[in-house]
Amino acid sequence: MRSFCRTLDRRTLADIGLVCLADAVVGASFGAIAVAGGLPAWVPVVMSLLVFAGAAQFAALGVVLAGGLPPAAVLTGLVLNARLLPFGLAVADALDGRWRARLLGAHLITDESLAFALRQPDGRRRRAAFWICGVVVFLCWNVGVVLGALAGGGIGDTDALGLDAAFPAVLLALVLPALSDRRTRRAALSGAAVAVAATPFLPAGLPVLLALAGLLCSPGRTPAPAAVPEAR
């Protein structure tokens, strides 16, 4: 891991650290919401270790807390995580190695690790960015979930803390510099419009996938992600 850190510049490492901090806060929110909603503390902890997909975890939790059946919660998570299939192809070169390393790498594929890997100009840096981001996000997320689960029983209204706003705020700050490019700005605004228009009519997660249609409004060069495209 130390050799990986030497491969990346300080700005990239700082951006990864900022995203990991936000992940820890959102993970704490997930753990607190789950326990405050009546689930045992071990449920969000085990779920985070085995599933490790923040958006899918929140969606499944919402289904369960609303009284939905477990199969409905699982299906919701699978729909949200469908985007990880093309993600794996995009970072295939970062997962070269023995099957154990590839299996671990597949578990660490997230929006964050993908975006930081794709920012790098060569294979060595892509591999370093993917593994550093993936491992540190995994640790920070799960530590946050444990702390949130421990504190969840004493929190009355988790919404009042506004923890769910921390991650989007950090992502917005990281993405803003990329919007100086006209094609990127056009694609982002078009995708946002599609997602907002679809939100009242589609289940959570699908509007985000439809936002990819914004790329059609940016002919020519496909905009590379500046940092992290969306919340996990």
Q: Are residues 110 and 206 in the same domain?
A: no
Q: What is the mean pLDDT of residues 155-169?
A: 58
Predicted local distance difference test score (pLDDT) of residue 229: 43
Q: Are residues 166 and 196 in the same domain?
A: no
Predicted local distance difference test score (pLDDT) of residue 42: 92
Distance (Å, whole) CA 51 – CA 77? 9
Q: Are residues 109 and 186 in the same domain?
A: no
Q: Are residues 100 and 199 in the same domain?
A: no
**Quick check: pTM over 0.85?**
no
Two structure tokens written together for 142 = 């799960």
Q: What is the mean pLDDT of residues 27-47?
A: 87
Q: Are residues 122 and 20 in the same domain?
A: yes
Q: Are residues 33 and 137 in the same domain?
A: yes
Q: Tell me how many domains the chain contains.
A: 2
pLDDT tens digits along 115-140:
888 888 887 888 888 889 889 999 99
Does residue 229 form part of some domain?
no
214 CB contacts (<8 Å, ≥6 apart)?
A: 186, 187, 188, 189, 190, 191, 192, 193, 194
| Region label for 187, one of left (φ > 0), alpha (ψ between -120 and 50) or beta (otherwise) | alpha
Does the pLDDT of residue 210 top 80, yes or no?
no
Does residue 232 form part of some domain?
no
| Structural domain span for residue 45 | 2-171
pLDDT tens digits along 42-96:
999 999 998 888 878 887 887 787 777 778 778 877 877 777 777 777 777 777 7
**How does the average pLDDT of the chain come out, rounded?**
77
